[in-house]
Amino acid sequence: MINLKNIVISGKEVCPIIEGGKGINGTDGRSSGHFAKEGCVGTISLVSADYYDDNGNVVMERSTRLKRQERHEDLIKGAIKGGIAQAQIAHEIAGNNGRIHVNELWELADSEQVIRGVLEGAKGLIHGVTCGAGLPYKLGEIASEYGVYYYPIVSSARAFQILWKRAYSHYSDFLGGVVYEDPWLAGGHNGLSNAENPDEPQDPYNRIKELRATLVKLGLAELPIVIAGGVWCLQDWENYLDNPEIGKVAFQFGTRPMITTESPISDAWKKVMLQTKPGDVALQRFSPTGFYSSAIKNKFLKRLMERKEGEIAYRLEAGDGFGTPLTLSNVKTVYIKAEDLAKANNQINAGFSVIQETPDSTVVFLTPDEWKTMKEDRAKCLGCLSQCQFSAWSGVNGTTGKLCDPRTYCIHKTLFDISHNGSTDDNLLFAGHQVYRFGQDPLYANGHIPSTHELVEAIKQGR
């Protein structure tokens, strides 16, 4: 038995077990409502949250309008409608127990509008907002305006200090805590800085200790730190409890609550997770946001890795060792190194005959089918991100001005598809690096899917 003490989160004393928000539709009103019902904290994802038609069916089509700007506007309206719908569901399930939070990715286009729209439309139902992926400077101002608590997600003490000095110090009343998300272990997008090596994980203890020291220095000694990333069971984290170097803590679980009876993801996705082995998750940089992210090495991710391995540098003019001509699919001739010719020919002969440029003066090789899908995905772009490397969409002025990057993919399409019963082979499966523990943990023996209640009870006991 571990000594997990209740703490005050978003204005109420609750059990410091938090469901990590997961978009798209990885956490919703039902899953978060059940966490809150257990006296813990549930988190609704605001990323394209599901909303319903008059018959109570999920609306699957986000927009059919012709212009991307119009589709983007529909997406935002839908996200607000969805966030409100999910907050109502969560509130009903939770009763008066626990706390309900919402989560938004700051790097989504018009994320501020979505947060405001949902907080306005679901007044009194939401107690806190968590926000990561980028530096959400405005989060404190927005949350304070609506009288809800806010929780920036950071991966270092330095990032928090920047946010505090530039913005949050003016909005300290509603700062509910800071989420420390381990950039080497957490599922989803990871906040690795350029100075940090993806292959050299650092000990979370030292990083969290440094964060606490920073908080103390800033006069925030009592602010809870929410530990996220690689948290499976609390037995592993006992030395973080009642430890003056670490201070007041809560624990956020991202991957583990994906397998419960109330989790919205498909049975097929749950089954894939139950069967993973150590090393099946890759920390890579294919997301069109430009961030690192962690996902299961399924067919979809392996193909991105293979495409990247087949990448070849080129020059527009011959010289400097680049003397071998290569004709691209747009009939342009570029020059590659002689030693790369065999690599190019091998791919072309294997059916990867469409040669596409990247924004980094390199080319990659695709099958005609892959290229067709890529073009279709770009044509249907909903403008979900503030800056998208895949489609070169920019929420600021319509385009990033760069070439579309064929090494990436449409993240909205794949996350929406997988969270609505899509193929587990042909979509991205975000997961934390400890996902293999499903296969070792007795709670899931013989394919058992626990209820949220069972999961929370196991976690409270340290299991």
Query: Of these partners, ligand FMN, ligand SF4, none, which one is at the site of residue 388 (CB under 5 to 8 Å by kind)?
Result: ligand SF4
- Binding of ligand SF4 at residue 352 (CB under 6 A)? no
Q: For residues 126 and 231, which CB has a smaller minimum distance to ligand FMN in the complex?
A: 231
Interacting residue with ligand FMN among 175, 192, 228, 411 (CB under 6 A):
228
- Binding of ligand FMN at residue 187 (CB under 6 A)? yes
- Site size toward ligand FMN (CB under 6 A) is 28
Give me 144's structure tokens: 């304070």
93 contacts 34 by C-beta, under 8 angstroms: yes
Give me 78's structure tokens: 């839908």
Query: Of these partners, ligand SF4, ligand FMN, none, which one is at the site of residue 264 (CB under 5 to 8 Å by kind)?
Result: none
Q: For residues 44 and 354, which CB has a smaller minimum distance to ligand FMN in the complex?
A: 44
- Nearest residue to ligand FMN by CB is 254
Locate tokens 């699919």: which residue? 329
User: 99 forms bridges with which residues in the sheet?
Assistant: 41
User: Can you say whether the dihedral through the CA atoms of 107, 225, 166, 162 is positive or negative?
Assistant: negative
Minimum gap (Å) between residue 183 Cβ and ligand SF4 = 22
Interacting residue with ligand FMN among 160, 253, 292, 390 (CB under 6 A):
253
DSSP string, 340-383: GHHHHHHHHHTT--EEEE-TTSEEEEE-HHHHHHHHHHHHT---
Q: Look at residues 99, 23, 390, 89 and name the one whose alpha carbon lies nearest to residue 262.
A: 89
| Residues 385, 50: Cα–Cα separation, whole Å | 18
Give me 45's structure tokens: 């994802």
Q: For residues 102 and 388, which CB has a smaller minimum distance to ligand SF4 in the complex?
A: 388
Interacting residue with ligand SF4 among 85, 411, 418, 435 (CB under 6 A):
411
Q: For residues 283 and 382, which CB has a smaller minimum distance to ligand SF4 in the complex?
A: 382
Residue 255, judged by CB atoms within 10 A of its CB (0-12, 13-18, 19+), counts as: buried
Q: For residues 264 and 406, which CB has a smaller minimum distance to ligand FMN in the complex?
A: 264
Q: What is the CA radius of gyration of the chain?
A: 23
Q: For residues 240 and 390, which CB has a smaller minimum distance to ligand SF4 in the complex?
A: 390
- Binding of ligand FMN at residue 153 (CB under 6 A)? yes
Q: For residues 344 and 404, which CB has a smaller minimum distance to ligand SF4 in the complex?
A: 404
- Binding of ligand FMN at residue 186 (CB under 6 A)? yes
The phi, psi pair for 143, rounded to 5°, reads -60, -40
- Binders of ligand SF4 in range 277-316 (CB under 6 A): 288
Q: Where are the beta strands (DSSP E) in 175-291?
A: 178-181, 188-190, 225-228, 249-253, 281-284
- Binding of ligand FMN at residue 188 (CB under 6 A)? yes
Distance set, CA 223 to CA 6, 10, 14, 214, 408 (Å): 14, 11, 15, 11, 38
| Furthest CA-CA distance within the chain | 71
User: Can you say whether the dihedral through the CA atoms of 293, 297, 300, 301 is positive or negative?
Assistant: positive
Give me 298's structure tokens: 């399924």
Question: Contact letters (x/-) for ligand FMN, 115-144, by CB under 6 A?
Answer: -----------------x------------
| Residues 230, 127: Cα–Cα separation, whole Å | 25
- Binding of ligand SF4 at residue 355 (CB under 6 A)? no
Stretch that binds ligand FMN, among 91-99, 248-256, 314-322, 390-398 (CB under 6 A): 248-256
Locate tokens 């991202």: which residue? 254
- Binding of ligand FMN at residue 22 (CB under 6 A)? yes
Query: Of these partners, ligand FMN, ligand SF4, none, which one is at the site of residue 366 (CB under 5 to 8 Å by kind)?
Result: none
The phi, psi pair for 291, rounded to 5°, reads -80, 155
Interacting residue with ligand SF4 among 37, 248, 412, 437 (CB under 6 A):
412
Residues forming the site for ligand FMN (CB under 6 A): 20-23, 26, 45, 47, 103, 105, 132, 153, 181, 185-188, 228-231, 252-255, 430-432, 434
